[in-house]
């Protein structure tokens, strides 16, 4: 099977500091891929570089066979990438609906409406709160909004950065459930997650990052069973 | 190439010797403002005319060194010290606002230099015996002007509108002393900061005066004031205190200035030989008619030239000062004397704005 | 007496709307880019100068007003290119921008001084006078009110209904989040800055016939605009407008009973009082 | 102390030689003006650089000082040199007033408060003609400095020496202040005000102190200006001086004290140097400012400090004149108290009608670790904020360490021994880890303002103890190796650990932790759990909010569960996780079984 998202030898640099060093990652169609690693291993930097939020210092990024590493963030989103960022980052003083609409880059209002209805269908809580200011919602609801906003761009690969950070177990379960659903709807997911247990439970394959480098990768089940992963990331 | 360099060198040497012969005079105005530019224009024109006439001392022309006083005492004091300590000038001419003039007076006093205060009306300047003031004091203005009003205008209900400060407040006190109950309204506005005069105009209108007396130093404020009074429907005669009826005011006020009158020590149309020469030269050089500050800038430099000539020295400031105090000098406004270091002439002219021009009335 | 009150209300409103437009330019730049533009007063001055120049060329005032907005945009573009955009990415950039915008303002002011000189000038504006129930208002003041309302309504519509408006608000609330959803943050910032400059130019053009043009015009209005912006709640457009109208009307009303110096002191004391009682500014009242 | 005296001595010798070398009255004038502006800009940098408050109206202080002393001399017949020291007072008083009005608010309000006060003072000076001579200006005759003729100095030379000496004194004292507990308080308030409050720093009072110091110095600069200008005019209070204050700080670099001094002096020197340009001098100055700031980010000194050579020299200097850092002092066990340490009685909190917390009651015994859990938005953080004094209660009582703390400000609650950490990372991101810990040690030893100003030996000894304690706390969470790194550059999890260490340094008896494990992977979380249980062994009492139940259940004694602001359960972990309403609202079914397994 050919890769949908193919990352080759990607590097990211902050000043003299190399946050990501020659990382190769691939995400295939209808696949959930987890990035596992300690704090500061480079997971967020990698996702941000894929979307062009931080300049990458080298490497190639291909989406559906097309080079996207020279494109602007906007063009990458149009090409089929979308991110729900770390810390949720919703627009606190815009309404839920305005937040969602910002996720859609297209100009077709009917299509936007349809897409919005899809998001509301997935997250009925957002429909209840559609005219509420995003900043007044609870952490779990904001996380749903951040994911919904990313979905509005109709991504082929949805990137989730720490989607369960600071969330209650019920919501964590809900998000894990969402990830399974969205895969079955044909969207691939690239998931960076501190909660390795949840990540490996939801993913098909996983990459382990350490100091900005991929040190291990393989099927999620095998990884969860690997003694190094168990001791270093699962605390078992 | 060598010839060229030799020529350049010779030129430089010539300039050096010429510079040594120049009589240097320091000029301090807030040169980035309109009034400051006018003062400088007047001074430079006077120097040009004096030098065309052969300079002040045999073979020695005037050379002006002009610095910016920025209306700030701090800048003025530095500039005055630089003029006296580095440029070695014996005389400083200029100064518009009081605070700056007082600062220059102090610096001049410390080093025994002479100061010709061209525009300020500050009384304290002449406490130093080598400092001379060219503009009349507010009290002098008042005496002459109030008499004129009483004789010719006979106001029944007067409104007085002046800028907030010593100048304005002393005018109000003056007017109240002279006219008593006939002063039915007094209004102060903030200098430079006030941009809207509609409230003030409403108040003037409700006082129902037959004469509105006004004083201002910024023509944009004066113009707005006149225009807002007209807009509010105030029909009273516009009387403006000495010094403020200028081409700039007429330009800003437009038709609203029509009929405004004043009394002043000088007018561009005054019929003296020097005034005709001054106005003609001014218009030739600056393509515009001179205003009051142009005149004062010119007069102070023009008189200084005569005093240096008469004293026969450009360095002995005590002698120049004594000479200036004793003599009678030629000015566009006629013969000028300096009793108590205050420039004094006999003549006052009544002016009026007619068809957008400042003309001598009757 | 009620006539006089009504008259002052109208006078105060006309000046208040002028303040509002000037304050709005400041608050827009602050809200979206989080910068304080110390040179904004000069943009206002250039707007006024444009109307003066247009008058000299024989253009009618009504044509000169949009021209002034255009000049505002041009000036804003120079400001942005030299004094704002290059510094935004720097760690202490927003502090440095205080200095660079101040310096740009001085340069603009000095350029105007050396080309057109320091002399003030009259702007004729709209002629005539409207009488309504015993209260008179010059056409120009009426025009200031009407044009300001129109401009404010247009801005409100822009912020709420257009893609650019929503993007502008998004950038204001979270730059990183805006980048995540693909908003070209830099370009939105620049466009917001130009919009602020256009509003400033408009303010200058509208006020010039009332205040007369002078190269010092910008500095005279800027202090009050700053105070209004903060009192209104930094970055809050609605707060700035309400506050500007309040200051204009209160000034006019106090002017009826107090002499000007005292009235001004009263207005400033009132401002301190508002700071004490409503530290969050007036923004909460007018979301 | 020795170093302080040495620096003062060197400075005074420099001032005296400068005054002796210059003879031209013009150069003396410019030099004195440069020194006065240096003092003024230094004063502005106290609020701007150290507290992060921009002032649009610092000329208010300058003018007030000048007019106060000027009126004493001109109207009351005082000698200038006798009146000069009084120049500090009006600025101090005005600073306290403005500070009291605006210190609780954000910096923007301070900027406008000073601007408005300056405008009011202008109106006052212009209208109170009898006292101030209004816009005409107040002439003030300053006599020559006493004793200056003994060394053969002209009045101007004596004046220059006085101004330069004042600059030296101001610089040395401000430097000592900056490197003391007080200066660190200001840093904390600038970078993380809530954190500062949680560490026992009375932020409002500290801000007032800062503004008063700045105001006093600025007003003194105004008094020093008198012999230079002869005449006081309302323009002293005007925008141009206020602008000089801000711009001088930016030009020099606001992170330092040398920068503002340099910037201020340049604002006197460069315009004089450009006099030959006539009416273009101002434009030329503006152009220079623009170019300098574009080319040298961080101002002249800020830029210089980033040059490799300078940076290396700076790095060799230790912070706070302390010499090498002391060895970490291990966190001492404290005497264990008995009985109930924290008693929450029917506490409620409403936001605009929304009931975030409703009549929650529970108590915590000394030495207990209580977990506080519940869905997002259940009111856990609100409750924690009330316990730590960050939010007032709408109703109910909170007793801690035997005292009623509901309604007390956070810094007082912290001083009583109830210290919190924050859900979002809260630290001084621009400072090193060591500096953060020094800030956090605020409560370990009392701040001593006068001792700090001259750096007495006793003060230095206390500083070493303080640092040793702080480093011990850092060691406790295992971050000692990160000492010299910038706090903001640490990974998220380590930032949270640093937050815990900082809360520890504040010497809590009751430690309230808000999601300390969020963002930690299971291994890191397990390590944190060990640290926290260790704290209990040293006599600390903990309340921990977290969603990482596996970690939480491994060391808590008891769990309190909130849902929609109401307490729905309170008991041992095993019991609570079995309660149907907890499972329903919070855990979800499958999860509950796994947690039980862990807890058992």
Residues A171, D375: C-beta atoms closer than 8 Å: yes
Q: Over 80: is that where the pLDDT of B267 sits?
A: yes
The residue among A14, A53, A73 with the most chain C CBs within 10 A of its CB, best to mutate, is A73
pLDDT top residue among D359 and D102: D359
Query: Residue A210, exposed/middle/buried by CB under 10 A (0-12, 13-18, 19+)?
Result: middle
Return d(Cα B161, Cα C260) in angstroms, integer: 11
Using pLDDT thresholds of 50, 70 and 90, give the confidence band for residue D591: low
For residues C137-152, give the mean pLDDT.
91
> Mean pLDDT across chain B, nearest whole number?
88
Of A39, A162, A170, the CB nearest to D524: A39
The residue of chain A nearest to residue D374, with distances taken between CA atoms, is A168
pLDDT score of D334 more than 70: no
Per-residue model confidence as pLDDT tens digits over B128-180: 999 999 999 888 888 888 899 998 888 999 999 998 777 788 888 888 999 98
**Whether the Cβ atoms of residue B119 and residue B95 lie closer than 8 Å to each other:** yes
Q: Report, as an integer, the average pLDDT of B9-19.
A: 48
At C105-127, the pLDDT tens digits run 999 999 999 899 888 888 888 88
Across the interface, whether the CB atoms of A40 and D492 are under 8 A apart is answered yes
To the nearest whole angstrom, how far is the Cα of B328 from the nearest Cα of chain D?
Answer: 30
Mean pLDDT across D370-398: 92
**Contact across the interface for D228 and B68, Cβ inside 8 Å:** no
pLDDT for position C286 = 35
Task: Please say if the pLDDT value at position A188 is more than 80.
Answer: yes
Asked whether the predicted pLDDT for residue B4 surpasses 70, the reply is no
B251–C259 C-beta distance less than 8 A = no
What does the pLDDT average to over B292-306? 95
Q: Chain C contacts of B218, Cβ < 8 Å? A: 120, 214
Of C95, C227, C275, the CB nearest to D101: C275
The C-alpha atoms of residue D173 and residue D188 are separated, in whole angstroms, by 20
Sorting pLDDT into bands at 50, 70 and 90, what band is D199? very high
Alpha carbons within 13 A on the beta-carbon side of A233: 28
What value does the mean pLDDT take over residues C158-165? 91
Structural contact between residues A84 and A150, judged by C-beta atoms closer than 8 angstroms: yes
In chain B, the largest separation of any two C-alpha atoms, in whole Å, equals 84
- Our answer on whether B and C touch (3+ beta-carbon pairs < 8 Å) is yes
- Neighbouring-strand partners of residue B62: B23
Contacts of B277 by beta carbon, 8 Å cutoff, 6+ apart: B49
- Assign B20 a pLDDT band (cuts: 50, 70, 90): low
Tokens 């309190």 -> residue: D560
Please check the confidence at residue D582 and state whether its pLDDT lies above 50: yes
- Could you tell me the residue ranges of all domains in chain C? 2-120+137-286
Predicted pLDDT of residue A92: 93
Shortest distance, CA B354 to any CA of chain D (angstroms): 34
The CA R_g of chain B, rounded to the nearest whole Å, is 22
Q: What is the pLDDT of residue D513?
A: 94
Does A1 score more than 60 pLDDT?
no
Contact C224, C15 (CB under 8 A): no
β D395-400/D403-404 pair status: antiparallel
Cα gap C61→C140, rounded to integer Å:
10
Please report the beta strands in chain B, taking only residues with DSSP state E, as ranges in sequence order.
23-29, 62-68, 91-94, 114-117, 131-133, 158-163, 183-189, 211-215, 237-240, 261-264, 349-354, 357-360
Chain C CB contacts of A148 under 8 Å are none
| Structural contact between residues B108 and B28, judged by C-beta atoms closer than 8 angstroms | no
Beta strands in B144-291 (DSSP E): 158-163, 183-189, 211-215, 237-240, 261-264
User: Is B touching D (3+ C-beta pairs, cut-off 8 A)?
Assistant: yes
CATH architecture, domain B138-264? 3-Layer(aba) Sandwich (3.40)
pLDDT at A178 over 60: yes
- Residues B202, B205, B207, B212, CA torsion sign: positive
Helix (H) or strand (E) holding A60: strand A56-63
Predicted confidence at residue D600, as pLDDT, reads: 43
Question: What chain D residue is nearest to A140 in terms of C-alpha separation?
Answer: D376
Q: Mean pLDDT, to the nearest integer, of D51-77?
A: 93
The confidence score (pLDDT) of residue D14 equals 94
Lowest mean pLDDT among B38-52, D357-371, D490-504: D490-504
Instruction: Find the mean pLDDT for residues A116-123.
Output: 94
Q: B2-136+271-341 and B138-264: same fold?
A: yes
Closest Cα of chain A to D428: distance in Å? 19
pLDDT in tens, D519-573: 787 788 888 888 898 888 888 899 999 988 888 888 899 999 999 999 999 999 8
- Rounded Cα–Cα distance for residues B292 and B288 (Å): 13
Question: Which chain C residues have a beta carbon less than 8 Å from that of D239?
Answer: 219, 223
- What is the per-residue pLDDT for A100? 95
Residues of B in contact with D279 (CB under 8 A): 31-32, 68
Give me the mean pLDDT over the C134-148 stretch: 86
Q: Compute the average pLDDT of residues D471-486.
A: 89
Task: List CB contacts (< 8 A) between D568 and chain A.
Answer: none
Nearest CA among D238, D253, D214 for reference residue D63: D238
Structure tokens at C194: 């130009």
pTM of the entire predicted model:
0.91
Between A and D, how many residue pairs show a Cβ–Cβ distance under 8 A? 88
Give strand pairing partners of D371.
Answer: D544, D559
The answer to whether residue D490 scores a pLDDT higher than 70 is yes
Query: Taking the mean position of all CA atoms in its chain, how far away is CA D277?
Result: 43
Strand residue runs (E) in D93-153: 138-139
Tell if the CB–CB gap between B86 and D279 is shorter than 8 Å: no
Q: β-strand D510-514 against D418-420: which pairing, if any? A: parallel
- Placement of tokens 């000095």 in the chain: C110
Q: Does D303 touch chain C (CB under 8 A)?
A: no
| Strand segments (E) across D403-497 | 403-404, 418-420
pLDDT band, very low/low/confident/very high, at B12 (cuts 50, 70, 90): very low
- The residue of C174, C180, C184, C187 whose CB has the most chain A CBs within 10 angstroms, and thus the best one to mutate to test that interface, is C180
| Partners of residue D119 in chain C, C-beta under 8 Å | 223, 264, 268
Closest-CA residue to B90 (of B323, B324, B314, B305): B314
Separation of alpha carbons A219 and C86, rounded Å: 47
Residue B362 has a pLDDT of 65
* Residues in a beta bridge with B350: B263
Q: pLDDT band at residue B258, thresholds of 50, 70 and 90?
A: very high
Q: What confidence score (pLDDT) does residue B167 get?
A: 76
What are phi and psi for residue D447, nearest 5 degrees? -70, 145
Q: How far is C17 from chain A (nearest CA, A)?
A: 27
DSSP state of D331: P
Tokens 């596992």 correspond to: A36
Residues of chain A contacting C286 with CB distance shorter than 8 Å = none
CA distance linking residue D453 with residue D595, whole number of Å: 56
The verdict on a CB contact (< 8 Å) between C103 and D286 is: yes
CB contact under 8 A, B99 and D30: no
Q: Report pLDDT digits (tens) over C45-95.
A: 999 999 999 999 999 999 999 999 999 999 999 999 999 999 998 878 888
Question: What pLDDT score was predicted for residue D301?
Answer: 84
For residue C254, give how far its alpha carbon lies from the nearest alpha carbon of chain B (Å): 9
Closest CB from B72, B82, B165 relative to D275: B82
- pLDDT bin (cut points 50, 70, 90) of residue D599 is very low
Residue B193 banded pLDDT, cuts 50, 70, 90? confident
Q: Which residue of D has its CA nearest to A137?
A: D377
Provide the residue ranges of all domains of chain B, joining segments of one domain with +. 2-136+271-341, 138-264
pLDDT-derived band at D182 (thresholds 50, 70, 90) equals: very high
- What fold, for B2-136+271-341? Rossmann fold (3.40.50)
Q: What is the residue-averaged pLDDT of chain C? A: 87
Mean pLDDT, residues C140-150 taken together: 92
Pairing of strands D231-232, D566-571: unpaired
pLDDT for residue B17: 47
3-state secondary structure of D569: strand
Q: What is the pLDDT of residue B256?
A: 92
Strands of A66-67's sheet, edge to edge?
A17-27, A5-14, A56-63, A66-67
- Counting as contact any 3 or more CB pairs under 8 A, the partners of C are A, B, D
Compute the Cα dihedral for D467, D469, D475, D476 and give only its sign. Answer: negative
Q: Which of A95-104, B107-116, D381-390, D489-498 has the lowest mean pLDDT?
A: D489-498
First CA to last CA distance, chain B:
68
Q: How confident is the model at residue A179 (pLDDT cuts 50, 70, 90)?
A: very high
Q: Which one of D524, D525, D591 has the shortest CB-CB distance to A173?
A: D591
List the structure tokens of C199.
């509003």
Using CB atoms, list chains with 3+ pairs below 8 Å to chain D: A, B, C
The answer, yes or no, to whether residue C262 has pLDDT greater than 80, is: no
Give the containing element (helix H, strand E) for D510: strand D510-514
The pLDDT of residue B226: 93
Fold of C2-120+137-286: ABC transporter involved in vitamin B12 uptake, BtuC (1.10.3470)
Contacting residues of C for D108, CB less than 8 Å apart: 230, 234
Q: Taking the C-alpha atoms of D104, D105, D106 and D112 in order, what is their torsion angle to the nearest 10 degrees?
A: -130
The pair of three-digit structure tokens given for residue C282, joined into one six-digit string: 């007036």
Distance from CA of A102 to the nearest CA of C (A): 7
| DSSP reduced 3-state for A195 | coil
Which secondary-structure segment (H or E) carries D109? helix D107-127
Residue-level pLDDT at D321: 45
Q: What whole-number distance in Å separates Cα of residue D301 and Cα of residue D135?
A: 38
Tens of pLDDT, residue by residue over B206-217, are: 899 999 999 888
Contact D294 C100 (CB under 8 A): yes
HEC per residue, chain C = CHHHHHHHHHHHHHHHHHHHHHHHHHHHHHHHHCCCCCCHHHHHHHHHHHHHHHHHCCCCHHHHHHHHHHHHHHHHHHHHHHHHHHHHCCCCHHHHHHHHHHHHHHHHHHHHHHHHCCCCECCCCCCCEEEECCEEEEHHHHHHHHHHHHHHHHHHHHHHHCHHHHHHHHHHHCHHHHHHCCCCHHHHHHHHHHHHHHHHHHHHHHHHHHHCECCCHHHHHHHHHHHHHHHCCCCCHHHHHHHHHHHHHHHHHHHHHCCHHHHHHHHHHHHHHHHHHCCCCCHHHHC
**pLDDT band at C226, cuts 50/70/90?**
confident
Place D276 in a pLDDT band, splitting at 50, 70 and 90: confident
What are the φ/ψ torsions at residue D511 (nearest 5 degrees)? -110, 125
């Amino acid at each position: 099977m050919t890769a949908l998202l193919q990352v080759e030898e990607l590097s990211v640099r902050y000043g003299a500091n190399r946050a990501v060093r020659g990382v190769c990652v691939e995400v295939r169609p209808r696949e959930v891929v987890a990035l596992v690693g300690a704090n500061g291993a480079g997971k967020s930097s990698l996702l941000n570089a894929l979307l062009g939020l931080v300049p990458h210092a080298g490497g190639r990024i291909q989406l559906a066979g097309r080079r996207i590493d020279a494109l602007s963030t906007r063009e990458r989103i149009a090409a089929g990438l979308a991110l729900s960022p770390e810390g949720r980052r919703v627009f606190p003083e815009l309404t839920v609906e305005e937040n969602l609409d910002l996720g859609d880059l297209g100009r077709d209002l009917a299509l936007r409406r349809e897409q919005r209805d899809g998001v509301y269908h997935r997250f009925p809580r957002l429909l209840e709160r559609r005219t509420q200011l995003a900043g007044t919602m609870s952490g779990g609801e904001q996380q749903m909004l951040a994911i919904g906003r990313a979905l509005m761009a109709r991504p082929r690969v949805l990137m989730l950065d720490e989607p369960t950070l600071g969330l209650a177990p019920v919501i964590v379960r809900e998000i894990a459930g969402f990830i399974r659903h969205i895969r079955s709807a044909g969207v691939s997911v690239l998931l960076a997650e501190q909660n390795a247990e949840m990540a490996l439970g939801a993913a098909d394959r996983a990459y382990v990052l350490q100091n900005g480098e991929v040190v291990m990768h393989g099927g999620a089940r095998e990884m969860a069973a690997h003694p190094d992963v168990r001791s270093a990331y699962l605390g078992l | 190439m060598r010839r060229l360099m030799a020529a350049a060198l010779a030129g430089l040497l010539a300039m050096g010797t010429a510079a040594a012969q120049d009589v240097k005079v320091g000029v301090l105005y807030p040169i980035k403002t309109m009034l400051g530019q006018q003062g400088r224009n007047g001074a430079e024109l006077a120097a040009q005319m004096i030098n065309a006439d052969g300079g002040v001392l045999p073979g020695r022309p005037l050379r002006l060194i002009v610095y910016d006083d920025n209306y700030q005492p701090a800048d003025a004091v530095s500039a005055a010290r630089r003029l006296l300590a580095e440029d070695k000038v014996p005389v400083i001419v200029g100064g518009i606002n009081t605070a700056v003039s007082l600062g220059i007076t102090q610096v001049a006093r410390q080093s025994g230099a002479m100061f010709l205060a061209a525009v300020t009306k500050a009384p304290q300047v002449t406490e130093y015996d080598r400092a001379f003031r060219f503009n009349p004091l507010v009290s002098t203005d008042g005496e002459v002007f109030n008499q004129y009003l009483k004789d010719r205008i006979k106001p029944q209900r007067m409104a007085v509108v002046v800028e907030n400060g010593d100048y304005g407040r002393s005018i109000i006190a003056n007017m109240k002393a002279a006219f008593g109950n006939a002063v039915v309204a007094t209004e102060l506005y903030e200098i430079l900061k006030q941009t809207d005069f509609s409230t003030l105009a409403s108040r003037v209108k409700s006082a129902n005066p037959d004469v509105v007396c006004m004083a201002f130093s910024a023509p944009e404020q004066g113009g707005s004031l006149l225009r807002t009074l007209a807009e509010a429907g105030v029909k009273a005669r516009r009387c403006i205190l000495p010094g403020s009826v200028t081409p700039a005011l007429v330009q800003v006020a437009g038709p609203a200035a029509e009929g405004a009158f004043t009394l002043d020590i000088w007018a561009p149309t005054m019929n003296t030989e020097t005034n005709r020469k001054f106005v003609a030269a001014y218009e030739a050089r600056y393509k515009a008619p001179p205003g009051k500050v142009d005149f004062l800038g010119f007069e102070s430099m023009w008189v200084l030239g005569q005093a240096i000539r008469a004293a026969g020295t450009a360095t002995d400031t005590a002698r120049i000062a004594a000479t200036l105090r004793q003599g009678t000098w030629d000015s566009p406004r006629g013969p000028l004397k300096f009793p108590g270091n205050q420039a004094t002439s006999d003549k006052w002219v009544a002016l009026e704005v007619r068809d957008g021009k400042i003309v001598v009335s009757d | 007496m009620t006539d006089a009150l009504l008259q002052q209300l109208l006078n105060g409103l006309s000046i208040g709307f002028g303040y509002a437009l000037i304050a709005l330019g400041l608050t827009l730049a602050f809200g979206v880019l989080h910068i304080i533009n110390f040179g904004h007063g000069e943009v206002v001055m250039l707007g006024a100068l444009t109307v003066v120049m247009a008058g000299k060329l024989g253009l009618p005032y009504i044509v000169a007003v949009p021209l002034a907005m255009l000049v505002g945009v041009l000036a804003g573009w120079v400001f942005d290119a030299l004094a704002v955009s290059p510094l935004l990415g720097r760690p202490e950039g927003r502090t440095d921008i205080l200095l660079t915008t101040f310096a740009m303002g001085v340069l603009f002011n000095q350029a105007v001084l050396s080309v057109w000189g320091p002399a003030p000038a009259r702007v004729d504006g709209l002629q005539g006078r409207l009488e309504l129930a015993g209260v008179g208002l010059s056409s120009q003041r009426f025009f200031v009110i009407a044009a300001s309302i129109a401009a404010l309504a247009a801005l409100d519509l822009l912020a709420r209904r257009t893609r650019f408006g929503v993007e502008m608000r998004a950038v204001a609330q979270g730059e990183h989040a805006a980048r995540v959803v693909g908003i070209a943050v830099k370009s939105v910032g620049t466009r917001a800055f130009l919009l602020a400059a256009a509003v400033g130019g408009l303010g200058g053009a509208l006020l010039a016939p009332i205040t007369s043009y002078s190269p010092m015009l910008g500095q005279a209005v800027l202090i009050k605009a700053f105070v209004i912006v903060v009192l209104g709640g930094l970055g809050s457009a609605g707060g700035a407008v309400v506050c500007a109208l309040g200051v204009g009307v209160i000034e006019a009303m106090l002017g009826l009973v107090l002499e000007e110096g005292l009235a001004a002191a009263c207005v400033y004391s009132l401002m301190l009082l508002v700071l004490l009682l409503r530290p969050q500014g007036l923004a909460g009242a007018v979301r | 102390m020795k170093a302080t005296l040495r620096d003062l001595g060197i400075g005074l010798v420099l001032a005296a030689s400068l005054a002796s070398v210059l003879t031209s009255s013009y150069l003396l004038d410019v030099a004195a003006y440069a020194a006065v502006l240096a003092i003024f800009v230094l004063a502005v940098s106290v609020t701007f650089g150290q507290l992060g408050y921009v002032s649009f109206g610092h000329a208010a202080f300058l003018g007030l000082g000048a007019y106060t002393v000027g009126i004493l001399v001109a109207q009351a017949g005082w000698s200038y040199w006798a009146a000069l020291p009084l120049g500090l007072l009006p600025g101090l008083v005005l600073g306290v007033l403005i500070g009291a009005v605006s210190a609780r608010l954000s910096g923007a309000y301070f900027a406008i408060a000073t601007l408005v006060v300056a405008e009011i003072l202008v109106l006052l000076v212009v209208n109170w003609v009898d006292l101030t001579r209004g816009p005409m200006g107040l002439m003030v005759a300053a006599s020559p400095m006493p004793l200056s003729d003994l060394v053969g100095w002209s009045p101007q030379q004596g004046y220059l020496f006085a101004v330069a000496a004042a600059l030296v004194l101001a610089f040395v004292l401000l430097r000592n202040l900056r490197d003391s507990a007080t200066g660190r308080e200001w840093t904390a308030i600038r970078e993380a005000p809530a954190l500062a409050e949680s560490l026992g720093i009375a932020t409002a009072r500290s801000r007032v102190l800062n503004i008063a110091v700045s105001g006093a110095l600025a007003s003194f600069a105004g008094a020093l200006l008198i012999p230079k200008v002869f005449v006081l005019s309302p323009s002293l209070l005007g925008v141009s001086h206020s602008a000089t204050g801000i711009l001088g700080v930016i030009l020099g670099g606001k992170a330092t004290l040398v920068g503002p001094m340099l910037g201020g002096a340049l604002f006197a020197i460069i315009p004089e140097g450009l006099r030959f340009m006539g009416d273009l001098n101002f434009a030329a100055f503006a152009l220079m400012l623009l170019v300098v700031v574009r080319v040298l980010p961080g101002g002249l000194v800020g830029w210089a400090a980033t040059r490799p050579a300078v940076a290396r020299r700076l790095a060799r200097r230790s912070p706070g004149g302390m010499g090498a850092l002391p060895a970490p002092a291990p966190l001492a066990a404290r005497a264990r108290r008995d009985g109930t340490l924290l008693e929450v009685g029917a506490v409620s909190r409403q936001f605009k009608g929304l009931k975030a917390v409703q009549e929650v009651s529970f108590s915590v015994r000394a030495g207990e670790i209580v977990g506080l859990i519940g869905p997002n938005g259940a009111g856990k953080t609100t409750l924690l904020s009330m316990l730590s004094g960050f939010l007032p209660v709408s109703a109910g009582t909170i007793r801690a360490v035997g005292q009623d703390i509901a309604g007390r400000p956070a810094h007082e609650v912290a001083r009583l021994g109830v210290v919190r950490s924050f859900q979002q990372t809260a630290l001084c991101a621009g400072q090193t880890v060591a500096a953060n810990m020094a800030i956090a040690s605020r409560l370990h030893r009392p701040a001593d303002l006068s001792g700090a100003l001259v750096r007495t030996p006793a003060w230095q000894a206390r500083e070493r103890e303080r640092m040793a304690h702080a480093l011990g706390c850092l060691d406790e969470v295992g971050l000692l190796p990160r000492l010299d790194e910038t706090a903001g550059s640490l990974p998220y999890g380590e930032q949270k650990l640093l937050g815990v260490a900082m809360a520890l340094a504040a010497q809590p008896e009751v430690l309230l932790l808000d999601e300390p494990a969020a963002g930690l992977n299971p291994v890191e979380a397990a390590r944190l759990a060990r640290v926290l249980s260790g704290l209990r062994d040293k006599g600390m009492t903990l309340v921990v909010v977290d969603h990482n139940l596996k970690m939480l259940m491994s060391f808590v004694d008891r769990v309190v569960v909130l849902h929609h602001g109401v307490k729905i359960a309170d008991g041992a972990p095993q019991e609570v996780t079995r309660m149907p309403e907890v499972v329903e609202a919070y855990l979800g079914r499958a999860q509950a079984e796994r947690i039980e397994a862990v807890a058992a």
